[in-house]
Amino acid sequence: MSLEKNLPIGVFDSGVGGLTVAKEIMKQLPNENIIYFGDTARVPYGNKSRETVTEYSRQITTFLLSKKVKAIVIACNTASAFALETLSKEFPEVPMIGVVLPGARAAAEASQNGKIGVIGTAGTVRSGLYERYLTGIRPDCQVYGQACPLFVPLVEEGWANDPITEQVVHRYIDPLLDNWVDTIVLGCTHYPLLKDVIEQVAGPDVTLVNPAYETALELKQMLTEGDLLADERKKKGNYTYSNHTFFVSDGAEQFRAFANSILPCEMIETKDVNVKVF
């Protein structure tokens, strides 16, 4: 089957975190339409097993393919770490990328002293995938993984600017600073939403790497090479929103309010999908 270049791109995450990647795709690829799925009924993925996360990701991939997408971006580190390899073999009909490899590339390049912190969910850190990619790209580097299980609920709750969040950030980031890391990968797509407070705690000598930017770049390259870039269309300011569609497995109203607060658009159509339809 040959893919049509004006089909949308499927993007998914366990919840709102993948919106940080969707936003970057909208910026770098303004002609593309996105179909986003946030698995809000089953968030968080970070404390679940490889098998469970892979099964959820398989269900979502099947759902996105039923909507006829030309490519899939796994905008979730946990799902990228656990499921990307398996799913790209199971679904060879569309190109699929994750966020871990682009993030590792950017961090390897950014670090001066080779001491790199990776913050992510317990699943992402346990998978060891960042470490594998980082030491593959840059064998001299030392990788310090730090699981931050309280970050996702804080973000989903909208507490990014709460003093409690600052205290939690200290608990997770201070041990990395004790190891003199000069670079920290935001290895969970929810974490860019805590960037300001992480930056403040980490200080000016530490570079924060957000894999979303690199992921959008890699997507652009993949679409260009596959002759799959959408035709140029009219823009509203810097962004074009009109044809993006958002699906969630629960709480469409709350998701819409959150998405509106981070995506610079006025109104987002969000549809609830019962996970049982999978």
Euclidean distance between CA atoms 212 and 76, whole angstroms? 10
For ligand DGL, the closer CB: 46 or 102: 46
- Nearer of residues 124 and 240 to ligand DGL, judged by Cβ: 124
Give the shortest CB-139-to-ligand DGL separation in angstroms: 26
Q: Which residue is catalytic, options 141, 148, 188, 265?
A: 188
Answer whether the bond into residue 8 is a cis peptide, omega within 30°.
no
What's the rounded Cα separation, in Å, for the pair 189 and 14?
10
Cβ distance to ligand DGL smaller for residue 14 or 33: 14
Give least dist CB 100 to ligand DGL, A: 9
Q: Residue 141 catalytic?
A: no
| Residue environment code for 160-171, b if the CB has 16+ CB neighbours within 10 A, otherwise e | beeeebeebbee
The least CB distance from residue 272 to ligand DGL, in Å, is: 19
Measured from the CB atom, the residue of 95 and 211 that comes closer to ligand DGL is 211
- Residues in contact with ligand DGL by the rule CB under 6 A: 13-15, 17, 43-46, 76-78, 121, 124, 152, 188-190
Which residue's CB comes closest to ligand DGL?
A: 46
Torsion of CA 151, 138, 82, 146, to 10 degrees: -30
Cα 53 from Cα 14, distance rounded (Å): 9
Residue 161: DSSP 8-state: T
Query: 25, 251 in Cβ contact below 8 A?
Result: no
Query: For this structure, is 76 an active site residue?
Result: yes
Minimum distance, C-beta of residue 20 to ligand DGL, in the bound complex (Å): 9
Residues with catalytic annotation?
76, 188
